[in-house]
Structure 1
Amino acid sequence: MVPMVEAASLSRPARRGIQYLLSEGVQEMEAKVRDFMKLLQVDKRIGAADAQKAYTLLKLQFNWLLDSLDIFADVLSLRSEHHTGTWLAGMDVLAEDTLLLKGSYFKAPPLVTYLDRGHGAAIRRARTRLPGGKSNPVAVIRVPRERMISTGIASSLVHEVGHQGASLLGLIPSMRKVIQERVKMEPESATLWNWFDRWISEILSDFWSVAMIGIGSTTGLMNVVSVPSYFVFRLKPDDPHPPPWIRLRLSIAFGAVLFPDQQWERLRQLWDRLYPIKLAGPEKSRIFQHLDQLVPEFADLLVNHRPPSLKGKMLREVFPVEYRQPKRLRQLYQQWVKNPRDMKRYRPSIVFAAIGQARADQVISPRRENRHLRNMLTYWALKRVL
């Protein structure tokens, strides 16, 4: 057991799933070792080559079990860190909240978070195969330590939650079908639509994040993809991520459709000033301009997409977008300025959305923003165990 305060612990469903998986793996391993020893003792005629073959297979299976253990050891070990463990538990609550849609379209798995070095967030989705072939009982989300600042926490975290949600809803194949229909309808733009097809997994996750936490998702993404211009305009056929320049354009477009407000145009203009398209060079500039012209059409296509899993509903209809409208979020924040304790009455995603909106409006300082979010992460962690 890893020593930790109770508030830092995993949710009960997550603990049960991990404990069952590992205990089952240990029992199976013990049984296979006994069978191997029995084989050596009983069958004296077994050749050295056959014995070695059985041994190496057994060793591989043992290593697979250790690999599975290591995955969850990373999650658990950080829970013993002062403050960090409790914040992670609060992030678990936030992650689970942002997987919830309006309606019952799937059974949500437990989600757990942990911090790691490096620049990229990632998810090991629930119900995918672990080393050795077992089904993963929980979604494991890795968040870089550098993202543990203000609403950037939620931007990265909810993007990874979006990967899980898109998988549960089967959004990738359904959107690819729609895109390929456009390829047939608009053969002159086939190359451009195929870029969107290649990037659809990451695009869907960005959409999920914007739909859940509003402009805080886009400003958080802007911080992540603010890199030297060479990388901002780099087009790689084997990269599932859109180049940062067009990726932010897409995030802004989703926000403008879901949450109409002048702030999205201001953000677009800011991005243009930070990374003028001429920095891409003549040839790439033309590609990015053509892609940019398709962005509004593509955003409208995705937001109004009706995947089979939603039983006739559009994507925009199953996300709680009415509660994330900028006007409402601004009112909420002003309400919390007068009575900060009132913040505890609201869902984690609403809190991050409203504070992200306040930060975008520059009515809250970074210091106060961090203090509010740190306190709320701790509160959600405590509330879960009390």
Structure 2
Amino acid sequence: MITDLDARAVADDLERQIAHWLAAATTFQDAEEFASEAAWRSVESYVGIPLRRHLGVVVGELVDIGTATLALTRAAHRDATALPAAVSGVQQFRRRFTQVETTLDFFGDAVSSRTSPQLRAALQSLDALAMASMQPVLARAGSAPVPVLTYVDKGMGASILRAGIRLWAPGSINPVAAIKIVRHNLYRPTSLFHEAGHQVAALTGWVPALEASLTRALASDPQLQSMWSAWSSEIAADVFAFAHTGYASVTALYDVVGDARTILRWPIGDPHPVGWLRTLLGCAFCRQVYGHGPWDDLETAMLALFPLRQADVTVRALLERSRQRMDAIADSCLTAPIPGLDGRPIASAVDPARVSPTALAELERVAGTALWTSPHWRRTEGIRIVALAGLREAERPAEAATWVERARSWMNTGALAA
């Protein structure tokens, strides 16, 4: 039983605790606690303004809750029956503080990754490229444009925190699509379009439609149905990247999944296709749309380096049966009817034929050297320029450093118009 003396001691300590947490929370009202003013200015207004406004609301709500909790602890001084509510309030505020801090830290770190003028220009270019890639599909689907904040980080693969999902702070909805680009692919950013594809898929009903399409294509093999349908979300994003950057997206993906330790493994619950199958699927996309080409050689090289006998015996048969039906699987992915596009496939809004090797060679011929310097080409063909640079890097390994440097120079010379 709590005595009057104990109650006063508890109430005093609760007031002390909440005073500390509330004082710390008020520092969040200064956005420079998480990123410099220069870093915030480096984010385009269509991203930075709604993001800072949203974060300001989140912090304001936190401070209001803290102020109310402080009042609860003071009430407990006068009335011991208020102690349980005060104790609960302080505990809840501690947890909410951590959730808000996590939200602010995430965006502060993302904004702060723009550490130099060159990197700032590159990421601004990627912001605009991602928005441009989504625009034709979202416009057809009647959805508003999605602001994009790209940031650079270590690792092998990109990721996205989609706009519209709940953030760590309770009741907080993400106002922007935050896309991580890893350093090794910063200047071959086909993964940017994979991540943008996740955002588009969420707004158009693409994933359930693709799952249904795969289920129909594999109707005679329930095991394959079950395996492939679980990968629909990642496959839709791969299709989106392919539609925008063609073969470049396939080689870039293989460079990520081509780890001898994992390429033939199927981890339980992994939403990504087995890397071996994912690469075969990308090569099948290319053959479906472009016919034969360098993707045939990539497939041959992968099969020679990672023969099926290296796979665990428990998945080997599934991998082989998938390989035998890869053309049908690829067709079902490319032709899946997307609800947001009135039941039409992705090619109705983003035609992958525009980034065929032939089409990109024609773009290169018509534009000449101006392709890499002209604001006009930057504005009108930015995504196809990324596809071209990635294609040439893949086709001409002896010149890879030259093409990476060309892409780097192009991206660092200024942001693209969306």
Q: Contact 1:112/1:141 (CA < 8 Å) preserved in 2?
A: yes
Aligned to 1:305: 336
Q: Which amino acid aligns with 1:58?
A: F
Cross-structure match for 1:193: 225
Greater mean alpha carbon deviation, residues 255-264 or residues 291-300: 255-264
1:265 & 1:182 partners in 2: Cα distance?
A: 23
Cα gap change, 1:235/1:80 in structure 2, threshold over 3 Å: closer, same or farther?
A: closer
TM-superposed deviation, 1:17: 1.6
Provide the rounded CA distance (Å) in 1 between the counterparts of 2:183 and 2:295: 28
Note the alpha carbon deviations across 1:296-323, whole angstroms, 9 max, x for none. Answer: 1111112111122211322221213242
Task: Identify the match of residue 180 of structure 2 among 131, 142, 160.
Answer: 142
**Equivalent residues of 1:90, 1:379 under 8 A apart:** no
Q: CA deviation at 1:55?
A: 1.1
RMSD of the TM alignment (CA)?
Answer: 2.4
1:378 and 2:407 matched: no
* Distance 1:40-1:5 versus aligned 2 partners, 3 A rule: closer
Q: After the TM superposition, which residues 182-331 of structure 1 pair with which residues of structure 2 at under 5 Å, given as runs?
A: 185-186=219-220, 189-228=221-260, 230-280=261-311, 284-331=315-362
Q: 1:182: Cα distance to partner?
A: 5.0
The corresponding residue for 1:175 is: 210
Cα distance, 1:127 vs structure 2: 0.2
* Partners of 1:293 and 1:316 in 2: CA distance: 25
Q: Secondary structure of the equivalent of 1:108?
A: coil
Q: Provide closer, same or farther for how the CA distance between residues 62 and 345 of structure 1 changes in structure 2, counting only shifts above 3 A.
A: closer
TM-score by length of 1: 0.89
| Equivalent residues of 2:121, 2:414 under 8 A apart | no
1:68 to 103, 115, 119: 103
Question: Partners of 1:374 and 1:306 in 2: how far apart?
Answer: 37
Superposed displacement of residue 365, structure 1: 1.7
Shift of 1:384: 5.0
Structure 2: distance between partners of 1:336 and 1:362 = 20
Is the counterpart of residue 124 in structure 1 residue 161 in structure 2? yes
**Bigger mean CA offset, 14-23 vs 40-49:** 40-49
**What is the TM-score normalised by the length of structure 2?**
0.83
Q: Is the CA contact 1:14–1:112 (under 8 Å) kept in the aligned structure 2?
A: yes
The letter of the residue matching 1:349 is I
For 2:367 and 2:348, how far apart are their aligned partners in 1?
28
Q: Aligned residues: percent identity?
A: 24
After the TM superposition, which residues 31-180 of structure 1 pair with which residues of structure 2 at under 5 Å, given as runs? 31-42=64-75, 44-45=78-79, 46-101=81-136, 103-105=139-141, 106-131=143-168, 132-148=170-186, 150-151=187-188, 154-180=189-215
Equivalent position amino acid for 1:176 in 2: E
Q: Secondary structure at the match of 2:135?
A: coil
Q: Read off the aligned partner of 2:159 and give its amino acid letter.
A: A
Return closer, same or farther for 1:333/1:358 CA change in 2, 3 Å cut-off.
farther
For 1:133, the aligned partner's letter is G
Deviations for 1:330-376, whole angstroms, at most 9, x for unmatched residues? Answer: 12224455444355354321101122222233288223212221122
**1:172-193 Cα distance to aligned partner (Å, 9 max, x none):** 122223334456x42xx10012
Residue 352 in structure 1 maps to residue 386 in structure 2: yes
Residues 346 and 57 from structure 1, CA distance in 2 versus in 1: closer, same or farther, beyond 3 angstroms? Answer: same
| 1:19 matched residue in structure 2 | 52
Question: Is contact 2:72–2:82 with CA below 8 Å preserved after alignment?
Answer: no
String of CA shifts for 1:25-47, please: whole Å, max 9, x gaps.
12212222222233334563244
Deviations 1:36-69 (A, max 9, x none): 2333345632443321101111222222211111
Structure 1 alignment gaps of length 5 or more: none
Report Cα offsets for 1:142-191 as digits up to 9, x if no partner: 1222333x42xx222221111111111111122223334456x42xx100
Task: Determine which structure has greater relative contact order: mean sequence separation of CA pairs < 8 Å that are 6+ residues apart, divided by chain length.
Answer: 1
Counterpart Cα distance in 2 of 1:52 and 1:169: 45
Once the two structures are TM-superposed, the CA of residue 248 in structure 1 deviates from its matched residue by 0.4
Q: Distance in 2 between matches of 1:179 and 1:39?
A: 57
SS of the equivalent of 2:175 reads: coil
Q: Counterpart of 1:113 in 2: which secondary structure? A: strand
Q: Which amino acid aligns with 2:193?
A: V
Bigger-Rg structure (1/2): 2
Distance 1:180 1:325, change over 3 A: closer
